[in-house]
Structure 1
Amino acid sequence: MPARHIAVIGTGYVGLTTGACLASLGHHVVCADADPHKVGRLRQAQVDILEPGLPELVAEGLDSGRLSFVQDSAGAAADADTVFLCLPTPMGAGGAADLAAVESVAAEIRSVLPEGCAVVNKSTVPVGTAERVAELLGRPDTTVVSNPEFLREGRAVHDFLHPDRIVVGADAPDAAEHVAGLYAALEAPVVLTDTASAELTKYAANFFLAMKLSFANNLATVCERFDADIAAVTVGIGHDPRIGGAFLQPGPGWGGSCLPKDTHALLTVCEQAGVEFPLLRATIETNVEHQRQLVERVAAGCAGPDGSLRGVRLALLGLAFKAGTSDLRDSPALAIARQLRERGAELYAYDPALSDTRPDLSDLLTLVDDPAQAAAGAAGCVVLTEWPQFHDLDWNAIARQLHRPIVYDFRNFLDPGRLAEAGLAWQGIGRTLSMTG
Structure 2
Amino acid sequence: MSTLLEVVLWVLLIWSALIVVVTAVLMTVDARRKRRIQDDAVTFPRMPPLSEKIGDSTFTVYTYGRDLFAAMLAEIRGAEREIFLESYIWKGDAVGEEFKRAVIEAAERGVRVHVIFDSFANFVVKRSFKRFPAPVNVLRYPFFNPWILVLRLRKTGRDHRKILVVDGKVGFVGGYNIGADYASKWRDTHLRIEGPLTWELNNAFVDFWNLHRKRGTAELPDPGAVQWEPRVRAHRNAPIHLSFPIRNMYLDAIDRASSTIAITQAYFIPDGDILAALLRAARRGVDVRVLVPEVSNHVLADWLSRGLYSQLLRGGVKILLFQGAMVHAKTATIDGRWSTIGTANIDRLSLTGNYEINAEIVDEGIAALMDEIFANDSTAARELTLEEWTSRRWRARFSEAVLVPLRPLL
TM-score normalized by the length of structure 2: 0.31
Instruction: Return the structure number with greater relative CO, CA threshold 8 A, min gap 6.
Output: 2
Structure ID, larger Rg? 1
TM-score normalized by the length of structure 1: 0.29
Q: Which has the higher strand share?
A: 2
